[in-house]
Amino acid sequence: MASGYGLSGGPSRCFPFWQELLACYVVNTNTDDVTGAKKCVPALEDYYECLHHRKEKARAIELQRAYRRAEAAHPRENTPRPGAIRNLGLLDREEDTKDVLGTNRSITAGNGK
């Protein structure tokens, strides 16, 4: 888990956090007294966050909720129709398609064909 080797053979992404946690435990505890381990709680939280990203995920979910609430509170005035979203305005435009494909006389006349 915290061997220090990543997938590519170098140090893993969380190994510096593991080293920091281990150093905190070595400095603050001994075999007789382990009450100093309470000082290492922030380092332990950082290491767990690096492994599991729980706080980051929770922040992202809360940001999405806030964005949806704000969007619901102030709807856009010129919302596109569902059909326009689905086809991006490219379908049902035969005249534009003909112009692009070159069936327009001015385009084919310029090609010399």
pLDDT in tens, 46-75: 999 999 999 999 999 999 999 999 888 887
pLDDT in tens, 2-44: 566 777 888 888 999 999 999 999 999 888 887 888 999 999 9
71: which 2 tokens?
């969007």
> Which one-letter DSSP state was computed for residue 81?
P
Which range, 6-15, 37-46, 80-89, 102-111, is most confident? 37-46
What DSSP letter does each residue of 2-52 carry, written as one string? Answer: -SSB-TTSSB-TTHHHHHHHHHHHHHH--SS--GGGGGGHHHHHHHHHHHH
pLDDT at 99: 63
